[in-house]
Amino acid sequence: MGEPIGIIGAGITGLATAMVLSPKHEVTIVARDMPGDLGFNWASPWAGAAFHPQDKATKIAQEMQMDSFHYYWALAHRDPKSGVQVLPLTEYFDDRSDDSQTWYKTLMPGYRVIPKSELPSGCTHGVKYTSLSMNPQILLPWLKEQLVAKGVKFVRAEVKSFDEARAITKARLIVNASGVGAKTLAGDDCVMPIRGQTMFVKTDFNELIMKDGSEYTYVIPRAGSGGVIIGGVKSDRLDTEVDEELKSDFLMRVNRLTNDTFKNVDLKSVEDIIGFRPGRKGGLRVEREGDVVHAYGASGAGYIYSFGVAERVRKLIDGPIKAKL
């Protein structure tokens, strides 16, 4: 067994990292919020959590997304109780006319371009492929259960420093997967919360719909919930008050993309969701700094990067030999 490792944060990045490191290391996760908690102070339980490849990505970022996709794809077929499901995805754009700059054509199964004549009004390009969605409120507790069975320890505590995390976890080496908390822990002024508002709608609609460009709109089915997440918006507001006008805007945008599938939705009956994504100016940070490995800043793409980030963390600790996910 390798050296003990402490992980700060029990969100999707921390859990994925523990899963990848636990075969070789004694891992302890210390976190204020744990799987099953539904407070507003962390992002993981509130994410839409669709696997929607991030288009503007460096080669390393593409590799992390690929690693993550392969893990979730295997998991969806191996254990449906995990809350991960395979779904068809339709992706629309209004800021491009072709897929000449799209890197994930060979990654996503069944990838094909939609004929221009079939695009909704206002869209200039579209593609279809098979993808995945994750229900965080099922997946996070499932991952914790798997990790406990592997001997990973969980300690509920809000740490103020890496030395405090070392004292609790009895580990010299710390993985900083603290999300927004990295602003203080790592002294990183680039870190900031990004407010998201979505709504949960009861429906049997079972297809992922995304639109990028001048707007960010999506419909994301949640396994085992009997409904979908509709959104979205990104804001620098820090309050948790629901913006009622946004709800009407969500519905208008989604109906434009789905041929009025949700035209009869009563906005008074939907479940409003407010969450704060762990954003960072400059993007995702995955790097080693002495005895601390930083893994934060994925913003709204935490689930998309999670197991790829975990694999990169493992390489920074153990070297380039790839662990079995």
- Binding region for FAD: 159
| Binding site residue list | 159, 218, 277, 300
281 Cα distance to chain centroid:
17
| CB distance 89 to 207 below 8 Å | yes
**How many Å apart are CA 48 and CA 250, to the nearest integer?**
14
Residue in the structure block whose two tokens are 């509920």: 156
**How many Å apart are CA 247 and CA 78, to the nearest integer?**
36
Alpha-carbon Rg for the chain, nearest whole angstrom, is: 19
DSSP 78-98: H-GGGSEEEEEEEEEESS-SS
User: In a 10 Å sphere around its CB, with 0-12 CB exposed, 13-18 middle and 19+ buried, how is residue 141 labelled?
Assistant: middle
| Binding site residue list for D-dopa | 218, 277, 300
Query: Can you say whether residue 9 is alpha, beta or left, with left for phi > 0 and alpha for psi between -120 and 50 degrees?
Result: left
Interior angle at CA 210, CA 108 and CA 228, nearest 5: 105
Max distance between CA atoms of the chain, in angstroms, equals: 62
Strand 217-222 relative to strand 5-8, pairing: unpaired
**How many Å apart are CA 6 and CA 30, to the nearest integer?**
7
